[in-house]
Structure 1
Amino acid sequence: MMTALVALTASQAQADETETTVNSYAAGYVAGFTCSAVFNANKTAEQIREHELTGIYSLIADRVNVLEAEVDPEQQWVRVKYDDGARERISVWRPRLGCVDLPVGATVDDAELVSRPFTEQPKAKDSGAPWQQRHPINTPTGNAKLDQVIAQAFSKHYGSGARTSAVLIATPESILAEHYIEGFTPETSQRTWSVAKSIAASIVGAAVYQRELDVKAPATIANWQSPLDPRAEITLEHLLHMASGLDSNAAGNRTDRVYMGGGRVADTATTTALEVEPGSRWKYANNDTMLVMRAVRETFADPQDYLKFPYEALLDKIGMQHTFLESDWNDDFILSSQVWTTARDLARLGILHLNNGEWQGERLLPANWLEYISTPAPAQPNEGAPGYGAQWWLYNERFPELPNDTIAARGNRGQFLVVIPSKNLVVVRRGYDIAGEPGFSEHDFVRDILTAMD
């Protein structure tokens, strides 16, 4: 089903966008991914070409191969020229916040206009906290059955299009297994894609607990406040449940103007019209996640304080020091997709949820937040797919081979964070799965892990 949707939306995009716009998308993609891969992850040009620019979205896949990225390591920007050099796209790196894609028409001189609330980047070495025991990286666990499952994860066993980059299995006390492909370490970040949505939900949870945000209240997006605007009835919960009712075109997972085009969240996500009554329909939509974060932003008087909030309230507290929450050039987080992080940092987020929102004695999320995100939303995806809670997928009675309380953050190209409270277990799988081919089956992988550990 996902393959068909991608093919459908790619063909629609090619029909709807001009050649110059699609060329701009391709240049923006190369600029943004090169910038993030270089400055967030310290990747080489060869790694970037292999991991970030192959097996990608069909709309731009052929176009990226003819584009060259110019990297300025001192000014920390990347420039990509397109349309025979007549135009260019720029992506600029910032400490903690990663790369921001400038709009069409911007030049490298505009890099100095990007806001920089953080002046320093944390030290590069991962401390290994909070785990008291850490099994040595890339070594057998001593459980032959589990070792076989992990080895299968780095093959085509769980999907012909699978390209695994990292696997991590942990409890709150111990990292039981941790494996990476050559060239990767615990400090190597990669893009989460839609796993970012579950990170966004965690930031919303921190705002609920620490800033008394009410998920049942209207989202109060400024653009929706005309007396006759029915969008004023959309609540934060509707957005968390992917049930805004907003028109998000044929497939709500295609938001190219923000993701690749240098567009602003405020000019795209907030402008779509209502299509059905809020809460009446589940539809996977990147805009719903961007909007819930926009609603959080509008509770802050100073955008700089908003940019700092996820770090000060959550990420720094649990040691997610290699996580970059990227934003548009208007300082709106693009937390539907554009986060770069490591396997360990994702595992830390999973452990926070196993600990019911507490971290080393300090409460960061509401005491009922795990229950809240794990409760099925009133409107659900079609049968055959996992269920849906609040920006987390649910492996409930639809998947009897997994414990009923299994939840997962799932992202494009095979990014998975699976949390199983009844087993006190977190499973992370990262990858660069190939678009259009069967991807990595996290359900089968987690099932086999549990069987091996039984």
Structure 2
Amino acid sequence: MKISFFTLCLLFGFIGNTQQPYFPNAHSRWEQRSPNDFHIDESKLNSAVAFAEANEYSGSRDLRIAILKGFEREPFHQIIGPTKKRGGPAGLIIKDGYIVAQWGDIKRVDMTFSVTKSFLSTMAGLAEDKGLIRDTKDLVGDYIWDGTFDGAHNAKITWEHLLQQNSAWSGELWGGKDWADRPPRNGGIDDWKLDTPKEPGTVMEYNDVRVNVLAYALTHVWRKPMPLVLKEHIMDKIGASSTWRWFGYDNAWTEIDGLQMKSVTGGGHSGAGIFINAEDMARFGLLFLNNGKWQNEQLVSSNWIKKATKPSIPNVNYGFMWWLNKKGERHWQGLSEDIYYAAGFGGNFIVIDKTHNMVVVTRWLEPNKIGDFMTKINSAFN
């Protein structure tokens, strides 16, 4: 029987709990390990990978078609930002920082849709860490005084409300009306658009217009475009490639300090958002797995990650733009409640599993198969 050097080190105590976490370098190949080195059942892990490959998202690979079909119920919906045809299923499974499985083209840049929201949330975290925002419980109107948060209703909205998607912000941004985003499946739209907005903090409503309001507000707080903040404070430091991009809508320009800046989106259901490869997504996930620390530098405070992954009152499965595997409507039964994840249209996921010290990135998986996929991976550890 062949025993790897890594396994021998484990057996003889050269590698133990004191081992420094592994982080891939910026310009060298991400190191791989055999699943057997971690006592992972390789055949079961391969079965999980085969499942991901066999359950490709059923929507068109031409994402303009998939987007228009997926959001056809929205009045006035149109594509007003960049799009890109997608590739096939791809992903990585990272254990203790090492790649133990991968499939598809992990270097192909694709749209990532609402996975972008978790990146956007992190921009708010950095703003709080650096004192640009004193506290997420502050009223946004105390920072943004241009009318975006005027009025008896919008004046009540805090940063926390925007991050938890329970702000019920009312208005129009970049031509998008808050009431026209994701209308109810039951009842008339005409009745819905005339409804009195919910009290901020009481009801979660997944709504890209309101997410884009957060991106707009953060752009003004930082006084620079969000892609530049992400690049300088996160992506360059974690060794991400130079291929990712973060777009806004074609008309989403704002002036700050006499300069025209693009205000980005937190998703891609009208185009735009973050376009990125699976490997860079995994690096971002690995940063969060290590509580915001990359090698010897704390890039995002552990306090922020704790706040970002705390269940909101209206929705136990949602924090600060991260989905949480708590016992609620989106619970993956039989899996750790400490799991949290970013999720986007078309089956894009970054899953953080602290119990197994693991990051899972999967792209273009049929969205309703993610729970089954994670269960299969989990079985390989048992």
Fold-level match, TM-score > 0.5?
yes
Query: CA–CA distance in 2 between the matches of 1:226 and 1:393?
Result: 26
- Aligned counterparts, 1:40-439, within 5 A: 127=27, 131-133=30-32, 143-156=42-55, 165-180=89-104, 184=105, 186-213=106-133, 214-220=135-141, 221-224=144-147, 228-247=151-170, 248-249=178-179, 251-252=181-182, 275-301=197-223, 303=224, 306-321=226-241, 322-329=243-250, 330=253, 331-337=262-268, 338-380=273-315, 387-398=317-328, 399=331, 400-431=333-364, 439=367
Q: 1:442 aligns with which of 344, 367, 370?
A: 370
3-state DSSP of counterpart to 1:206: helix
Query: CA–CA distance in 1 between the matches of 2:205 and 2:114?
Result: 14
Deviation digits for residues 89-109 of structure 1, max 9, x if unmatched? Answer: xxxxxxxxxxxxxxxxxxxxx
Distance of aligned partners of 1:290 and 1:172 in 2 relative to their CA distance in 1, 3 Å threshold? farther
CA shift, 1:410, in A, is 0.8
Deviation digits for residues 212-242 of structure 1, max 9, x if unmatched? Answer: 4221112233443686443122111100101
Worse overlay, 225-234 or 315-324: 225-234
CA shift, 1:171, in A, is 2.5
CA shift, 1:253, in A, is 8.3
Query: CA–CA distance in 1 between the matches of 2:238 and 2:381?
Result: 27
> Structure 1 stretches of 5 or more lacking a match?
1-124, 255-271, 382-386, 434-438
CA shift, 1:432, in A, is 7.1
Deviation digits for residues 12-56 of structure 1, max 9, x if unmatched? Answer: xxxxxxxxxxxxxxxxxxxxxxxxxxxxxxxxxxxxxxxxxxxxx
Residue identity opposite 1:446 in structure 2? M
Residue identity opposite 1:240 in structure 2? L
3-state DSSP of counterpart to 1:376: coil
Query: CA–CA distance in 2 between the matches of 1:188 and 1:397?
Result: 35
CA shift, 1:162, in A, is 10
3-state DSSP of counterpart to 1:408: strand
Residue identity opposite 2:97 in structure 1? E
Residue identity opposite 1:357 in structure 2? G
Distance of aligned partners of 1:236 and 1:171 in 2 relative to their CA distance in 1, 3 Å threshold? same
CA shift, 1:134, in A, is 5.4
Residue identity opposite 2:158 in structure 1? T
3-state DSSP of counterpart to 1:326: strand
Match of 2:18 in 1: none
Query: CA–CA distance in 1 between the matches of 2:306 and 2:210?
Result: 21
Query: CA–CA distance in 2 between the matches of 1:310 and 1:134?
Result: 30
Tell me the TM-score normalized by structure 2: 0.68
> Structure 2 stretches of 5 or more lacking a match?
1-24, 62-87, 171-177, 185-193, 254-261
How many residues in Structure 1 have an aligned counterpart in Structure 2? 291
- Relative contact order, CA 8 A, sep 6+: which one is greater? 2
Query: CA–CA distance in 2 between the matches of 1:132 and 1:159?
Result: 29
Could you tell me whether the CA contact under 8 Å between 2:227 and 2:245 is conserved in 1? Answer: no
Deviation digits for residues 379-404 of structure 1, max 9, x if unmatched? Answer: 117xxxxx111101111123331101
Query: CA–CA distance in 2 between the matches of 1:298 and 1:368?
Result: 24
Could you tell me whether the CA contact under 8 Å between 1:239 and 1:289 is conserved in 2? Answer: yes
Query: CA–CA distance in 2 between the matches of 1:440 and 1:178?
Result: 21
Query: CA–CA distance in 2 between the matches of 1:176 and 1:233?
Result: 47
CA shift, 1:179, in A, is 0.8
Distance of aligned partners of 1:369 and 1:171 in 2 relative to their CA distance in 1, 3 Å threshold? farther
3-state DSSP of counterpart to 2:140: coil
Distance of aligned partners of 1:252 and 1:207 in 2 relative to their CA distance in 1, 3 Å threshold? farther
Deviation digits for residues 397-420 of structure 1, max 9, x if unmatched? Answer: 233311011111111111111111
CA RMSD of aligned residues (A): 3.0
Could you tell me whether the CA contact under 8 Å between 1:253 and 1:285 is conserved in 2? Answer: no
Could you tell me whether the CA contact under 8 Å between 1:172 and 1:354 is conserved in 2? Answer: no
CA shift, 1:273, in A, is 10
Worse overlay, 409-418 or 147-156: 147-156
Residue identity opposite 1:231 in structure 2? N
Distance of aligned partners of 1:430 and 1:334 in 2 relative to their CA distance in 1, 3 Å threshold? same
Query: CA–CA distance in 2 between the matches of 1:320 and 1:401?
Result: 33
